[in-house]
Structure 1
Amino acid sequence: MNAVKLVKKLLINTVLGAVLLAVINFIGLYFNFYIALNIYSALIIGVLGVPGLVLLIFLKFMI
């Protein structure tokens, strides 16, 4: 995999994860559920994409 494809995939994962995180945070306002967007959550979502978001949700329920 060359660098351009890697950056493109990382960018798509980041954008998709950020949009889904915004939707989850918007819906979560009604249920008192919020995942903070900081450097660590952005990196997890950027690298892992949607599974990273699921991981953050799972970790939020565990704590």
Structure 2
Amino acid sequence: MNAGKVIKKILVNTILGAVLLAIINFIGIYFNFYIALNIYSAFIIGILGVPGLVLLIFLKFMV
């Protein structure tokens, strides 16, 4: 894989994950559930994409 494809994939994962995180946080207001958007969660979502978001949700329920 060349660098352009990797950067494009990370950018798409980040955008998709951020949109889904915003939707989850918006709906989570009614259930007292939210995931903070900070550098760590952005990094996890950026690298892993939607599975990273699922991981953050799972970790939120564990703690």
Could you tell me the TM-score, scaled by structure 1's length? 1.00
Report the number of matched residues: 63
Identity %: 83
Distance 1:35 1:10 in 2: 20
TM-superposed deviation, 1:20? 0.1
Distance 1:21 1:36 in 2: 9
Residue 50 (str. 1) matches residue 50 (str. 2): yes
The residue that corresponds to 2:3 in the other structure is 3
The residue that corresponds to 2:18 in the other structure is 18
Displaced runs of 4 or more, over 4 A: none
**Any stretches of 5+ residues in structure 2 without a counterpart?**
none
RMSD: 0.1
Distance 1:17 1:40 in 2: 13
**Any stretches of 5+ residues in structure 1 without a counterpart?**
none
Could you tell me the TM-score, scaled by structure 2's length? 1.00
TM-superposed deviation, 1:7? 0.2
TM-superposed deviation, 1:22? 0.1
Give the letter for the 1:51 counterpart: P
